[in-house]
Each structure stands twice: as C-alpha cells, then as structure tokens.
Chains A and B, each alone.
Chain A
Amino acid sequence: MNDKLFKRILIIIGVVGVISILTLLIITIVLYRQTSMITFIEKELW
C-alpha cells in the first residue's frame, strides 16, 4: 500500500468516525431535550 492510499483510507475512516460520534451526540441531545423539557430549557446556554 503506498503512502497516498494509506493516508486517504485513514482520512475516510476518521471522517466517518467523527460523523458517527457527532450523530450519536445529537441523538442524545434530542432525546434528553424531549424527556426533561423544563430542565433542559433551564440549562440552555445563551
């Protein structure tokens, strides 16, 4: 495997990984907000 291909594979895996982590975090936030509305509105940062 040449260095260029290796770097591309790493970048692709990294991007997909970060996206999956962010997606999971967003789902977590949505679930949390739906379940304890008042608490989460109170804790909102403005």
Chain B
Amino acid sequence: MEKKKLFKQILAILGVVSFVVLADVFIFFVFTNRCINYSSSQMQAKSVEVDQYLPFAKDTKIVKKEYSEKLSGDLPKIDGAAALVPVFNSFVYSIYPESSVKYENGDFTKDSALQYHNTRGAFKGIVDGECDIAFCAKPSDEQVQYGLDKGVELELTPIGREAFVFIVNKNNPVDGLTMAQLKDIYSGKITNWKDVGGANRPINVVQRNKGSGSQTTLEKLFGKDIKSNFFGPLGGSLGFSFRFYVEELTEHGHIKMLKLNDVYPNKENVQNESYPIVSNFFAVTRKGETNPNVQKVLDFVLSPTGQEIIDKTGYVSL
C-alpha cells in the first residue's frame, strides 16, 4: 500500500517536471526561436518594400526626374540604407540606363548596378569592393575601423539632411521630451513615463541592431552605454528613427513622433534648423576611387536636379 502511494507521488512529480520542460521547449521553438530569426539583417532588409521603389517599374513610387546625360561604361554599383531607398533609386532612374537594373524574384541580381543590402551590408560592400557608392547615415566607428583594417579609407560626401526622431505609440500621453530628459532616459536615470509627465508605466528603451544607421546615430548622441529598464517590456516603448522613414506611419499607423525641446520634427523645422537633432546623410565612397563615373554620380546628386529629388522625396536638401 505504502509502495503504491510512493509510486504515485513520484509519478506526479515526474509529470509536473515533464510539463514544465515541454512548455519551455514549446515556447522556445514556437516563439523565441522565431524572434531570433526575425533579428537577422536579412529579415530587416526584407521588411522594406523595395519593389515599390524600383526605378524603372511602371507603378514605382519614386520621384521621376528626367536628365539629359545617362552614364555609360563602367557603372558604379549603388547600395544604401532602407530609409534612403526612394532617394537613390530615383538617382538611378535619372542617370542610369534602364538595362543596368536587374531585379528578379524579389531581389537584385549580382550584376545589377542597383543593389539593396541596407546600411550594414552597404558599408561592407564598399569596403569589400562589392559596391561603389553607399547612401547612408554616418558610419559607426566599427564600420570605419572595418575599412581601415582592410586598407580602405571611406570618403563621406554630405548630400542632404534629415531629422533624427523619437517615436512612441499614438496612445502614449507624452507628446514631447527635452534633450535633457532623453539623456536621462538613455542613461537609466529616468525609467518611468510618469517622470516625464506621462502615465505610471516603465519606459521600454528599444534599440536596433548594432551598425544600423539609426542605432549609430543614437549612440553618437547618447553614448554607447545605453541602459535598458528591466521592467521596460511591460511598459511603453520609446523608439527612434529618421523622420522620413516614419512620417507616413505617423499619418496612417499607430505611432507618433515626439516634439523635442517643444519643436515638432516636420520638414519646415528641419529646414530652419529649429529641431535640435538634424544630421546629414551621405554618399559614401572609397577614397582614391578611380572610376570617373563615381564622381559623375556625386556631381549629379549635388546638382540642382539631384537636390530637387532629395527635396521632392521628402528629405531636406543641403
């Protein structure tokens, strides 16, 4: 009788242990593992609908500016950040021959003059010689060092300006922050929205992948030692991006851009420089580049037509 009872008790304990282990394995493989896959740079790159901005597609969303001189000969390969796809695809439309862009099965072919590997891939491409001009935000120290390690010095040509913005959910009652408050949030001194006039909820300091254009900009502003609140995931998120990238989403989606020092990041406030964080974006090339067409592309980008494309696309020209 006693043995039978002991057997049942051991069975019950093993049952509970098995349930817990199976539940953990189930959550990991069905949810956690999926999130790890989402974090790959490829997945992030694919989240941008590049096919809507193909230069020569009939229903493309790019700004079309005709230009008399098309490039010929050794065409520089172009790549860049997700947020700048509409801009550099428009440049390609103006000065590249249509036959130079090859897009098949949702990706550019290797011999296409236009490529898209996002900021990290574009910088790597410049250094490794797989692309010739990258349109991006300022490179991170690691990216510059990667080039120097391989004997490649990068040349940065400013081509336009853009506001670096902070975003929250539309229902977050906070509409603006000051630079001092942001500094305290990213250094971990402020961890709750109520401390900046919001609801009593933890601040979820969200960050992007290292090496992405916006993450590099954030680190240049607030340092690399950005503190995340442990309870943040249970609260409200504070994100960041470039204005152009999220502007449409603020109109049709469920996020909003925050005022900074009481100035809203619209185009006018970027132009008159009243918005506090305005940074250049660049055409990045290899120093000592010998292909004359690289300089021709840069000349076009800085010409009135190139700058008009930047303006009409929604960014701010120099």
A residues in contact (CB < 8 Å) with B:
1, 6, 9-10, 13-14, 16-17, 20-21, 24-38, 40-44, 46
- Name 16 extra pairs, CB < 8 A, besides A14-B16, A42-B169: A6-B9, A10-B16, A20-B24, A24-B27, A26-B233, A30-B233, A31-B32, A32-B38, A34-B209, A37-B239, A40-B206, A41-B167, A41-B168, A41-B206, A42-B249, A46-B172
Among B23, B207, B253, B254, contact of A21 (Cβ-Cβ < 8 Å)? B23
Pick the 3 closest A-B CB pairs, nearest first. Answer: A17-B20, A46-B171, A31-B35
B residues in contact (CB < 8 Å) with A:
6, 9, 12-13, 16-17, 19-20, 23-24, 27-28, 31-32, 35-36, 38-39, 43-44, 47, 167-169, 171-172, 199, 204, 206-209, 233, 236-237, 239, 241, 246, 249, 253-255
A37 lies within 8 A of B236 (CB): no
A1 lies within 8 A of B6 (CB): yes
**In the assembly, what is the distance between CA of A36 and CA of B215, in Å?**
13
Contacts of B19 in A (CB 8 A): 17
A to B CB contacts below 8 Å, 28 in the list:
A6-B12, A6-B13, A9-B13, A10-B12, A10-B16, A13-B13, A13-B20, A17-B17, A17-B23, A24-B27, A28-B31, A31-B36, A32-B38, A33-B204, A33-B233, A36-B38, A37-B206, A37-B241, A38-B167, A38-B239, A38-B246, A38-B253, A38-B255, A41-B255, A44-B169, A44-B236, A44-B237, A46-B171
Contacts of A32 in B (CB 8 A): 35, 38
A38 lies within 8 A of B249 (CB): yes
Contacts of B6 in A (CB 8 A): 1
B39 lies within 8 A of A31 (CB): yes
B27 lies within 8 A of A25 (CB): yes
**In the assembly, what is the distance between CA of A46 and CA of B172, in Å?**
7
Among A28, A35, A41, contact of B239 (Cβ-Cβ < 8 Å)? A41
**In the assembly, what is the distance between CA of A24 and CA of B246, in Å?**
31
**In the assembly, what is the distance between CA of A33 and CA of B203, in Å?**
13
A21 lies within 8 A of B13 (CB): no
Contacts of B24 in A (CB 8 A): 20-21, 24
Contacts of B246 in A (CB 8 A): 38
Contacts of A44 in B (CB 8 A): 169, 171, 236-237
Among A21, A35, A43, contact of B20 (Cβ-Cβ < 8 Å)? A21
Minimum CB–CB distance from A2 to chain B (whole Å) comes to 10
**In the assembly, what is the distance between CA of A26 and CA of B233, in Å?**
7
A35 lies within 8 A of B44 (CB): yes
Contacts of A16 in B (CB 8 A): 20
B236 lies within 8 A of A46 (CB): yes
